[in-house]
């Protein structure tokens, strides 16, 4: 399959024990926590962090607001703004050594799991999904400033800046453009070598297995797709392909059709689901949901509708319809019988704001499963009974968007009222913007370690003294943190009071 799931947990160093110097020139940390950097500048790399009250031996000063110190991480630098010096200031040597190394600019999945795309737009293929709290090194930035090129477990790809927290400067980054064709519509990955047939009916070239190419048109029954590679414009058979986007959005550019065999409910080949979730609809129409299929599910394909935008499949002994989007076809569309004389309405919505969360259920308290940028157009398959939310389908699977922030196109009277999927209520979470010390109990006496900035954690409980402290689920265990030191997100009514 094309999509690679990057489910590798972040590996973070254990929090150091507090280091106390006893004599000589000393520096004491007076902020919640302090980074020890490799050089006398905020743009240099972080060696580690130390909590409030740590006393370090000072061996020099930069003359620009930094102390050189001996720390648990070796010789480094600490900002004078967050520390207090005691000793012989005049006797301190002025130095810029060690100069340190420039810190890499990174993005952090601070608001939930983040998708890495093969190209800088939401219609391209997802090559990795980065777990919440993990970070990626930035390589370059696009000319519009909306996307950064990153190094991910799935390879070099692109992350939308609206979906992540950024650390480090962007000004010195190389500017890059779209590395391949423009993916502003349905795009196919070819899973076998494919011959391209020119407009005159003759072969004009071969696209190799693994090629990713935009689909610019189709014939009337969707069995041939038009492509425009470097060697010319032509058609390819819809055979052994993976489709990102939906076949409904491919314009008809040729009236030709290919007659399939008689219908017999026999499995011709299989299709593999490549998105998080696909809805399967009733055999006699395209609106009633029978069940759903998760990523990796194999569907037995038995037929198609007249324009090739829907496939009839057998799944868990049910004969159902599935929209031709977000699946990998393991056979040839032209071998399928045509079993329906009806083409479903193309109801869709357009995102009418800068960015919009797609939620797992019809309400703001449900988990966010994707973020769509303004102008994105997706298919809608239902609406909530309170008229507040549209159910939509896309590369993310199935989700809900708030009606207030979208524009509807289509036949609204054909969109059914639905309540599924019900989704999952999002657990409240806290965003740690900068390095913060955490404690073993809500009294805040014994330091358990330091949480790095740009991360987020699930909120498990709160103290009973008017939200002074929050208990978080972290790699350090269940720890407590001052509520004023984080950004809280979620429904506060879901946070229980805990007495210790």
Q: 């302090």: which residue's tokens?
A: 34
pLDDT digits (tens, 9 = 90+) for 243-281: 877 787 788 888 888 878 888 889 999 999 887 778 787
C-alpha 166/C-alpha 47 separation (Å) is 19
C-alpha 299/C-alpha 313 separation (Å) is 6
Closest alpha carbon to 164 in 137, 198, 192: 137
Helix (H, G, I), strand (E, B) or coil at 322: strand
Q: What distance, in Å, lies between the first and last C-alpha atoms of the chain? A: 49
- Whether residue 123 contacts residue 185, with contact meaning beta carbons closer than 8 Å, is answered with yes
Taking the complete model, does pTM exceed 0.95, yes or no?
no
Q: What angle do CA 349, 189, 326 make, to 5 degrees?
A: 35
CA atoms within 13 A on the CB side of 381: 23
Closest alpha carbon to 65 in 82, 50, 48, 52: 82
Closest alpha carbon to 373 in 408, 325, 409, 405: 405
Closest alpha carbon to 62 in 46, 49, 81: 81
Q: What φ, ψ does residue 161 adopt, rounded to 5°?
A: -65, -20
pLDDT digits (tens, 9 = 90+) for 204-249: 999 998 888 888 889 988 899 998 888 888 999 999 888 877 787 7
pLDDT digits (tens, 9 = 90+) for 433-489: 888 898 988 888 888 888 888 888 888 888 877 778 899 988 888 899 988 888 888
C-alpha 361: how far from its chain's center? 18
The domains found in the chain, sorted by start residue, are 106-176 (2.30.30.40), 185-338 (no CATH), 348-414 (2.30.30.40), 429-494 (2.30.30.40)
């Amino acid at each position: 399959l094309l999509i690679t799931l990057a489910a590798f947990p972040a590996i973070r160093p254990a929090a150091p024990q507090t280091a106390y110097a006893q004599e000589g020139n000393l520096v004491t940390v007076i902020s919640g926590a302090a980074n020890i950097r490799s050089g006398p500048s905020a743009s240099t790399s972080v060696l580690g962090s130390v909590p409030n009250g740590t006393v370090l031996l000072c061996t020099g000063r930069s003359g620009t607001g930094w102390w050189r110190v001996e720390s648990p991480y070796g010789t480094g630098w600490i900002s004078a703004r967050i520390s207090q010096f005691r000793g012989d200031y005049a006797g301190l040597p002025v130095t810029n050594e060690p100069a340190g190394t420039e810190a890499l600019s990174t993005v952090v999945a601070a608001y939930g799991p983040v998708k890495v795309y093969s190209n800088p737009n939401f219609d391209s293929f997802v090559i990795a999904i980065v777990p919440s709290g993990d970070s990626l090194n930035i390589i370059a930035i696009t000319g519009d400033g909306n996307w950064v090129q990153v190094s991910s477990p799935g390879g070099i790809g692109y992350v939308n800046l609206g979906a992540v927290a950024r650390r480090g400067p962007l000004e010195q980054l190389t500017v890059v453009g779209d590395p391949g064709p423009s993916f502003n519509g349905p795009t196919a990955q070819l899973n076998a070598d494919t011959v391209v047939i020119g407009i005159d009916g003759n072969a004009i070239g071969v696209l190799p297995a693994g090629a990713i190419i935009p689909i610019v048109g189709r014939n009337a029954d969707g069995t041939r797709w038009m492509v425009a590679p470097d060697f010319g414009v032509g058609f390819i058979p819809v055979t052994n392909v993976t489709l990102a986007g939906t076949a409904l959005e491919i314009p008809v550019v040729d009236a030709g059709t290919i007659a399939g065999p008689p219908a017999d409910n026999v499995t011709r080949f299989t299709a593999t689901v490549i998105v998080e979730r696909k809805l399967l609809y009733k055999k006699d129409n395209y609106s009633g949901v029978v069940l759903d299929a998760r990523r990796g599910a194999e569907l037995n394909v038995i037929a198609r509708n007249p324009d090739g935008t829907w496939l009839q499949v057998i799944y868990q002994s049910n004969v159902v319809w599935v929209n031709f989007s977000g699946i990998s076809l393991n056979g040839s569309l032209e071998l399928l019988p045509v079993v329906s004389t009806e083409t479903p309405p193309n109801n869709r919505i357009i995102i009418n704001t800068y960015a919009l969360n797609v939620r797992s259920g019809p309400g703001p308290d449900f988990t966010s499963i994707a973020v769509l940028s303004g102008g994105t157009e997706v298919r809608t398959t239902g609406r909530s009974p309170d008229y507040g939310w549209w159910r939509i389908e896309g590369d993310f699977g199935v989700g809900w968007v708030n009606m207030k922030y979208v524009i509807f196109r289509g036949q609204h009277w054909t969109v059914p009222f639905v309540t599924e999927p019900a989704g999952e209520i999002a657990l409240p979470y806290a965003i740690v913007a900068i390095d913060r010390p955490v404690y073993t109990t809500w009294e805040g006496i014994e330091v358990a370690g330091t949480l790095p900035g740009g991360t987020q954690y699930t909120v498990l409980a709160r103290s009973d003294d008017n939200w002074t402290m929050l208990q978080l689920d972290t790699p350090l265990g269940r720890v407590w943190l001052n509520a004023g030191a984080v950004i809280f997100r979620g429904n506060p009514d879901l946070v229980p009071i805990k007495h210790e």
